[in-house]
Chain A
Amino acid sequence: MSKILLSGNEAIARGAWEAGCDAGFGYPGTPSTETLESFSKLEGVYAEWAINEKVALESAIGFSMAGHRALVTMKHVGVNVASDPLMSIAYAGVNGGLVILAADDPGMFSSQNEQDSRVYAEFAKIPLFEPADSEEALEMTKAAFELSEKLKTIVMIRSTVRISHTKTLVETHDRQAAQPVPYQTSIPDWVMMPAYARPKRLESDKRFAELEECSETSLFNHAEIRDTSIGFIASGACYQYVREAFPEASTLKLGMTHPLPESKIRAFADSVDELYVVDEAYPYLLKGVRAFGIEPTPWTSPLPAAFEMSAMLLKESYGSPIEQNTTALELQKQVAVPPRPPALCAGCPHRVAFNELKRMKAIVLGDIGCYTLGALAPLTTLESAIDMGASVSMGHGFEVARELESKAGVSQSTSNRPVFSIIGDSTFAHSGLSGVVSTVYNAGVGNIVILDNRTTAMTGGQGNPISGKTLQGRQTNELDLPKVLKAIGVEDVVQVDAHNVKAVREALKAAANNKDKLSVVICQAPCVVEYRIHNTVRVVDAEACRGCGTCTRIGCPAISMYDTNIAEINDKLCNGCSQCEQYCPFNAIHSKEGE
């Protein structure tokens, strides 16, 4: 069979499909998203976006309990959300094969932290596979399903951004139907109350011994003996960097990295003169090797502890010469290139809320999504982003502190600035809702802005409970946000057109003035990218423009004031949202047709 180019994510999806996996559950998150998306398009499978990773894993556990193979996908920080069921399903075990993908982001290209999911596999005592390219991703996913059913355990596949988002050649195969594992009532196996959980804990320890044996015999863990004066232990993308930097060296390539194969590691360590262990962002393998009492050779200069590894960094730490293009480095010094960070798109409906909150000098507690970019110039309005849903609960905590200060008669320089939590529709469904319930329960006050653009935009426009569309394209119920909020007990709920400056301004002001209540302002307008919005392009009347810069300060990539003191609108980028027209104090911006 001929090979095709697949990303690591596509290969995991394909592997699950070939293994007879019938259903996929997940929550979008870079770099994991395309796994479930591509799985959902394969023949004869069911796939859904859950509202968050915990719900996704629990649904998959139910599917497995019913006897069928399930795949669960998420990014590394999603594993934190799913860690509650993960730690206990590790005791309970599975019925149908159950495989969880944790896609890590060393280098933090699209994440708020750099945590290493392998630690979760160790913590939960579950088997862990780490592919080093797409072909392995496919093969390991199939092996993971086999192992899951054989030893009755959830299995983790840990990918990184360079595996998930690198396309490599893959040999594909036909789908093998998996035989369902009939469900039979077995209360001690599935009810994790203390009396049943204790024996299950001992059972998981016993299973661990079998897993250790598995790791020792796994073909995914193998020594490649070349020059024995130098040897490397590495897994995943780091294995590729070792091969690139030191093609002649011996390598112990680890693919099943929990449990670690102690005998194989000892044998390899004994067979080479110098032993080096390579990790990126967290010393997972190094700690494991050291736990066996093996002390690797020190690097000439220590490996960087943070961010991505590379062949060059390995050479540098080893003390090998590094190539440089000195001419290029010199010309980069001569030509200072301004940075190009990402920005909210032209016509993004989120922009008005940020501009208005900036005018109000509000303290804006943010969340995870495109709108996190509200922290960057020229908006520089969003003041925090910690985790999914944090804006709502942090806003509550902030207000509690203010109330205590007010009672004590103390104040800070920021005390008169209104506090707003700002959160997108998908993130609100993921974890914001519970924060609102908790705030209402505790009679909290505050202001919440929900930026409802009808999609999960940052990860590429996935459906969510507010968008009315499922992963596999079915029309479905749309969560009615005002009704839901009112039902929870939020009395002050207003919904406005996110592009309408006056309406947004008035709604935010009213919320801030309503100091004794919890207020929610829903700024609604569809994402211009996902819904391909193209309205009449705006143009600047050069006669009327006074060059005041009001329009450029809203931070739209389509508007510039460069070289001249007259604003310009790039008609290729503009999609006619009209925000600049509304902001212009001199009526100098009009729709093109209206000219």
Chain B
Amino acid sequence: MSCDTAVNEKPITVMLCGVGGQGTITAADLLARAAMNDGYDVKVSEIHGMAQRGGAVSTTVRFGKNVSSMVCDPAQADIIISFELLEAVRNAHYLKNDGHIIVNDIQIKPMSVLTGQAKMPQGIHEALKQLGEHSVDIFDAEAVAREAGNPKTANVALLGAAAKFLPLSEKAWEKSIESRIPPKTLEANLAAFRAMYNKLNA
């Protein structure tokens, strides 16, 4: 992964995608704050409004010495964090050729599938693996979060997995989570983050 060397010249681009209501915006905010804590310029771009009603959503976080564009163009994402399998495929073309994609191993069926008008595609895991043996991480973030204490912290577990590939300090991450998450669920969120962070950094 080329993130560490690149950060001073070109910003790091992380795309977070999923389905409206999955918590992509909160996760993007945590990542942005972590980048800010480590002294980087940062931009977070999100789309509100109509798309939020159960539609496909994506948020982009870019950080580095200086960040210009706030959006992610095709083949420009260093990391994609997809909160859902279909959305991982839908957004795969945004991934850099040497980028890394982290995918939550769940499927949320679109309305056309629920009503029987369309079928869920088969072989999503295998298809995503074509992006490169070491470029794809697919895991059940909710299971990890549940094991760590609270299944609702799946979005933070996904961030923990992404953290391995990002040049941000553990302290910056923790400070970010502490500043954004209410005290009631703070421990559960930190545990979910560490569960993936430590696993992948081990």
Interface SS of B by simple majority: mixed
Please name the residue on chain A nearest to B131 by beta carbon: A327
Contact of B52 among A244, A342, A377, A555 (CB under 8 A): A342
Report yes or no: A342 in contact with B86, Cβ–Cβ below 8 A: no
Closest B residue to A330 by CB, please name it: B130
Given contacts A240-B69, A337-B89, A339-B112, contact A331 B128 (CB under 8 A): yes
| Closest-CB distance, B143 to chain A (whole angstroms) | 15
CB of B186 within 8 Å of the partner chain: no
Stretch at the interface among B35-43, B157-165, B187-195: B35-43
Within 8 A of B (CB), among A336-363: 336-345
B3 at the interface (CB under 8 A from A): no
Q: Which residue of A3, A322, A343 is within 8 Å of B53 (Cβ)?
A: A343
Residue A30 lies at the interface, judged by CB distance under 8 Å to chain B = yes
Partner of B112, one of A241, A323, A377, A549: A377
Instruction: Choose one: B19, B49, B95; the contact of A459 (CB below 8 Å).
Output: B49
Given A165-B48, A240-B68, is A332 in contact with B111 using a C-beta cutoff of 8 Å? no
Which of B72-125 touch A at CB < 8 Å? 73-76, 86-87, 89-90, 92-97, 99, 109-121, 123-124
A318-334 contacts to B, CB under 8 A, are: 322-325, 327-332, 334
Which single residue of chain B is at the shortest CB-CB distance from A308?
A: B71
* Cα(A93)–Cα(B128), bound, Å: 60
Q: Are B92 and A5 in contact (CB under 8 A)?
A: no
- A168 and B48 contacting across the interface, CB-CB below 8 Å: no
Task: Select which of B97, B115, B123 is within 8 A of A552 by beta carbon.
Answer: B115
- Min CB distance, A377 to chain B, in Å? 7
0 or 1 for each of B17-51: is its CB under 8 Å from A? (1 = yes): 00110000000010011001000011111111111
**Stretch of A117-125, A425-433, A557-565 lying at the B interface:** A557-565
Count of A-B residue pairs with CB < 8 Å: 201
Interface residues on chain B, number (Cβ under 8 Å): 62
Of A330, A340, A372, the contact of B110 (CB 8 Å cutoff): A340
**A110 B53 Cβ-Cβ under 8 A:** no
Asked whether, in the complex, the Cβ of A324 is within 8 Å of the Cβ of B74, the reply is yes
Residues of B with C-beta under 8 A to A552: 114-116
- The one of A169, A343, A458 in contact with B49, judged by C-beta atoms closer than 8 angstroms, is A458
Contact check, A328 vs B131: say whether CB atoms are below 8 A apart.
Answer: yes
| Given known A-B contacts A323-B75, A324-B74, A338 and B89 have beta carbons under 8 A apart | no
User: B89: which A residues are within 8 A, CB to CB?
Assistant: 331-332, 335, 337
In the complex, whether A109 has a CB less than 8 A from a CB of chain B is yes
A337 and B110 CA atoms in complex are apart in Å by 10
Q: Which of B55, B70, B110 has the most CB of A within 10 A?
A: B70
Q: Please measure, in the bound complex, the distance between the C-alpha atom of A337 and the C-alpha atom of B56, giving whole angstroms.
A: 12
Q: Known A109-B49, A110-B48, A327-B97; judge A168-B42 contact (CB<8 A).
A: yes
- In whole angstroms, how far apart are the Cα atoms of A338 and B113 in the complex? 8
Q: Report if A562-B113 is in contact (Cβ < 8 Å); known contacts: A165-B48, A327-B130.
A: yes
Q: Which residues from A are CB-within-8-Å of B99? A: 325
Let me know if B127 is at the binding interface, CB within 8 A: yes
Cβ-defined contact, A335 with B111, below 8 A = no
Give the contacting residue for A166; candidates B44, B51, B112; CB below 8 A.
B44
Q: Which residue of A lies closest to B111 (CB)?
A: A343
Q: Are A338 and B86 in contact (CB under 8 A)?
A: yes
A213-247 Cβ-contact flags toward B at 8 Å (1 or 0): 00000000000000000000000010011011001
Among B75, B117, B120, the one with the most A-chain Cβ atoms within 10 Å of its Cβ is B75
Interface residues of A in 481-503 (CB under 8 A from B): none
Q: Which residue of A lies closest to B130 (CB)?
A: A331
Question: How distant is B88 from chain A, measured CB to nearest CB, in Å?
Answer: 9
B45 in contact with A310 (CB, 8 Å): no
Binary flags per residue of B172-186, CB closer than 8 Å to A gives 1, else 0: 000000000000000
Chain A: minimal CB distance from B124 (Å): 6
Q: Would A169 and B51 be within 8 Å (CB), given that A240-B70, A323-B74, A553-B115 are in contact?
A: no
**Smallest CB separation, B31 vs chain A (Å):** 11
CB-based contact A311/B69 at 8 Å: yes
CA distance A545 to B132 in the complex (A): 45
A562 B109 Cβ-Cβ under 8 A: yes
Residues of the A chain whose Cβ atoms lie less than 8 Å from the Cβ of B87: 340
A460 sits at the interface (CB 8 A): yes
Contact B43 A167 (CB under 8 A): yes
Q: Which of chain A's residues have a CB closer than 8 A to the CB of B130?
A: 327, 330-331
Q: Inside 8 A of A338's CB, which chain B residues have their CB?
A: 86, 110, 112-113, 118-121
Which among A167, A243, A339, A344 is the interface contact of B32 at CB below 8 angstroms? A167
Complex Cα distance, B113 from A328, in Å, reads 23
Q: Assess the B116–A549 pair: CB atoms within 8 A.
A: yes
Docked complex Cα distance between A247 and B43 (Å): 17
- Closest Cβ of chain B: how far from A48's Cβ, in Å? 21
Give Cα A237 to B45, complex, Å.
Answer: 12
Interface presence of A96 (CB below 8 A) = no
The distance from the CB of A401 to the nearest CB of chain B, in whole angstroms, is 31
- Which residue of B has the minimal Cβ distance to A370? B53
- The interface bits of chain A over 17-41 (1 if a CB of B lies within 8 angstroms of the residue's CB, else 0) are 0000000000000110100000000
Alpha-carbon separation in the docked complex, A377 to B112 (Å) = 8
Q: Confirm or deny: A373 has a beta carbon within 8 angstroms of a beta carbon on chain B.
A: yes
> Bound complex: CA of A331 vs CA of B92, how far in Å?
9
In this assembly, does A538 line the interface, its C-beta being within 8 Å of a C-beta of chain B? no
- Chain B residue numbers with a CB within 8 Å of A460 are 48
Residues of B within 8 A of A162 (CB): 45, 70-71
| A167 and chain B: residue at smallest CB distance | B44
A312 in the interface, Cβ–Cβ < 8 Å?
Answer: yes
- B4 to chain A minimum Cβ distance, whole angstroms, is 21
In whole Å, how far is B29's beta carbon from the nearest beta carbon of chain A? 8
Complex interface: chain B residues within 8 A of A332 (CB): 89-90, 92-93
Q: Whole-angstrom distance between the alpha carbons of A162 and B73 in the complex?
A: 14
With A5-B36, A338-B112, A345-B54 as given contacts, are A324 and B75 in contact (CB-CB < 8 Å)?
Answer: yes
- Are A339 and B115 closer than 8 Å at their CB atoms? no
For the complex formed, measure the closest distance between the CB of B167 and the CB atoms of chain A, giving whole angstroms.
Answer: 18
- Which of chain A's residues have a CB closer than 8 A to the CB of B46? 165-166
Q: Which residue of B lies closest to A4 (CB)?
A: B36
- For the complex with contacts A241-B69, A244-B69, A562-B113, 14 further pairs of A-B residues with Cβ separation under 8 Å are A165-B46, A168-B44, A324-B74, A325-B95, A331-B130, A332-B93, A340-B90, A340-B111, A342-B54, A343-B53, A377-B112, A555-B111, A560-B113, A560-B114
Closest 9 CB pairs of A and B: A110-B49, A30-B49, A342-B55, A244-B69, A342-B53, A328-B92, A243-B68, A312-B73, A323-B75
A-B contact pairs, 24 of them (CB 8 A): A5-B33, A5-B36, A30-B49, A110-B48, A166-B43, A167-B42, A168-B43, A168-B70, A240-B69, A241-B68, A310-B73, A312-B74, A325-B95, A328-B131, A331-B127, A331-B128, A338-B112, A340-B54, A340-B86, A342-B54, A460-B48, A549-B116, A559-B114, A560-B113
Q: Measuring CB to CB, which residues of chain B are less than 8 angstroms from any residue of chain A?
A: 19-20, 29, 32-33, 36, 41-56, 67-71, 73-76, 86-87, 89-90, 92-97, 99, 109-121, 123-124, 127-128, 130-132
